[in-house]
Amino acid sequence: MPLNLMTRCEEFDVIVIGAGIAGLTTAKELSSKGLSVVVLEARDRIGGRLYTANIDGTPVDLGGAWIHGLGSPSCQNAIYSLALRCGFQVRTTDYDDAVFYDNFSHRMDTHSVNAMDRIFDEFAAFVAGLVARDPSTKSRLSVDAAVKMFERMRGGVSEVQRLQLLFQVHNHIESYWAGDSCNMALGTMDEVRLPGADVVIQGGYSQLISAIASGLDVRTGHVVKQVRWRPSSLNQDSKVKAVTCETAQHGSFRARRLVVTLPLGVLKSGAVSFDPPLASASPSKGLAIQRLGTGIYNKVLLLFERPFWDGHTMIHRVPSSAERGRWAWILNLQRVLGLPALVGFTHGTYATQLEARSDQEAAEDMLEALRKLYPGKVPQPVKVVCTRWGSDPHCRMSFTYIPVGSDTSDCDSLRQHLEGTLFFAGEATSRLFYGTVHGAYGSGLMAAQEVVSAALSDKLSWLNCAGEVIGAEEKVPGSGGGPFSDKHTLKTRPLAVSSRDVNALPEVSPQLSGLHSEDQLQEPSICMIATCASLQPVSKGALALASGLGAGAGGDIMVIQSSSSASLRMKGLLLSTSAGKKVGIDGEMTAAVNEPGRLPLGQAVPSWTFTLPHSAAPERSPLRARGPEKTLARGVSVDIPFLNQRAAVSERKCEDLPPYVSLLERNPVLGVQGRSLTPSRM
């Protein structure tokens, strides 16, 4: 019997697949906008790769554990801000509080540690010069290949220096990204990190997950097997469900839209089938899934009756070449959580191999390394806990890394929604912060904003809004058909909308809090909804909403909310014809705003200027067409999300960043100096 005939089909506005932090954040945001949302989670718990276990009465994070980079007092990491708002306490991890042992298990003195730092700094400078001369090396050269080039350039290195350099590469790069440096692209060393210390949440990440999930409709134990979808443009009747989601145990769920927050490892495996397939619907998305790397990072926790080790937070080993990825660093939980336990970290190929062993075999492997560091002092543990994220069928990975042949543009391709129907979130979709909890959280916020934009498009009946652009076109004399600009007036017909539709807009409902009933918001009310992809000079993530309100508006374009006292700029213009064809025109639409601060509700912007760039100009200006029945452009993208502000990371500015990022610190080569060793993502 077909799956969809087994049980009745439940219907929602939005389905979210996955109850990790990205999926729960998406669902929370959408629910707050009045949309009906269901979250389908394959496991019998929520959190995904954030998992807090109770070890002898102490909560210990066995998945993601750290908040990486607190930011500054005025511009904080969004996860840290959320933890503070929830009243959770955090504790800083002091990576400088470390002890080092060489490959002969001898404790290293300060001189040896400093020598190890110097050769890595020399290597980092070499890489910076290499990339400066040929930027393509960032994606086509592996970290291992760069190490070999460095050794040749230096005229050779001693065995001690080679092991020290390999240790630093393993600790700074492989351990942080959970991949093997022979596969990892050199561009991995040029990363974006938030400034400030790394902290752990006392009580574990599960508290934060529970807080986000509160009040949501989350269905655990629902293993999604198939997603059947059709573009929203094919479904003009709002009652037509564009997405069918079938689970192995619980039948079908249907919705207008679906948000996929499956880990990259699951997407690669094909465990969930899509009809039509993702690769055929978007070749770039298919390539991104294929090219991006799935890092494996595992922990082995050994609980003892009492500590026998050094009191330092971190215990570092300089392993031999054959021990690559094997217990390069060990975390002292007595120092961090007050628990007499050590956590050993493995990554890459060794972490994958360790997953095939039993817990006792993995423990014995770690005990063997500890006995070399503390001869005659290592007892048998009273408890052993091992993670196996790579063989977990519901994630098949730990976190994303960038391998040779890929770059962060693949994260963008993975994030792009398909036809206003399928949306994507998760750490792998974060161009700046892939592999981090705050990257996953931010991707959930962005996906929710895109869904709200698409849902609002439905509610405002774009297909019934006839747009007309009138005006004269101007060409630059002697340009031979080159760059030209058009200045036009945009007119629209009124739309009938309710206050509920307006209040569904992100960031707008506080400005319209007094409009709760139909008699307060007259119909027809909104003549045109336009969005600003960026507000100049600053935006602070605010939404600019251009519209005409009330019968006396006469179709003028007005601004409800703006935090800029300069000019508003809209990248792209969306019109529709009565025949049901959506038309997107690339260009730039600007309007002067003379009054500082937020404009009063309904204050008119006197004029907009729309400039069509040369790159988008056909032989005959599409804007010459009059009336709703004619095609106004050549099918340029109509994806204009309401808050689609992309971060420019060249400067430290809070204003121009996405709403989930406040301050970025870009490290030219590697964001570590001296002994400030950076831990993994988990």
Q: What angle do CA 381, 171, 134 make, to 5 degrees?
A: 160
Distances from the Cα of 517 to the Cα of 124, 463, 497, 507, 548, angstroms:
62, 25, 12, 19, 18
Residues making up the binding site: 41-42, 224, 345
Q: Please, are residues 428 and 434 in contact by the beta-carbon 8 Å criterion?
A: yes
Question: How far is residue 204's CA from residue 591's CA, in Å, rounded to a whole number?
Answer: 48
- Cross-strand pairs, 20: 47
- Three-class SS state of 485: strand
Q: What is the 3-state secondary structure of 90-108?
A: EEECCCCCEEEECCCCCEC
- Three-class SS state of 392: coil
Question: How far is residue 625's CA from residue 263's CA, in Å, rounded to a whole number?
Answer: 46
User: What is the DSSP code (8-state) at residue 179?
Assistant: S
Residues making up the binding site for FAD: 41-42, 224
Query: 389, 439, 415: which is closest to 66 by C-alpha?
Result: 439
| Furthest-apart CA atoms within the chain: distance in Å | 89
Q: Please, are residues 539 and 656 in contact by the beta-carbon 8 Å criterion?
A: yes
Query: 501, 493, 498, 494: which is closest to 453 by C-alpha?
Result: 501
Q: Please, are residues 17 and 245 in contact by the beta-carbon 8 Å criterion?
A: yes
Question: How far is residue 604's CA from residue 608's CA, in Å, rounded to a whole number?
Answer: 11
Q: Give the helix/strand (H/E) hosting 531.
A: strand 530-531
- Judge residue 554's burial from the number of C-beta atoms within 10 Å of its C-beta, 0-12 exposed, 13-18 middle, 19 or more buried: exposed
User: What is the DSSP code (8-state) at residue 240?
Assistant: S
Query: 343, 59, 336: which is closest to 210 by C-alpha?
Result: 59
Q: Please, are residues 534 and 590 in contact by the beta-carbon 8 Å criterion?
A: no
Query: 525, 599, 527: which is closest to 568 by C-alpha?
Result: 599
Distances from the Cα of 515 to the Cα of 299, 500, 526, angstroms:
53, 9, 14
Beta-carbon contacts of 622 under 8 Å, excluding residues fewer than 6 positions away, are 585, 631, 632, 633, 634
Residues making up the binding site for substrate: 345
User: What is the DSSP code (8-state) at residue 394?
Assistant: T
Question: How far is residue 631's CA from residue 653's CA, in Å, rounded to a whole number?
Answer: 40
Question: How far is residue 337's CA from residue 60's CA, in Å, rounded to a whole number?
Answer: 8
State both tokens at 145.
Answer: 């290949």
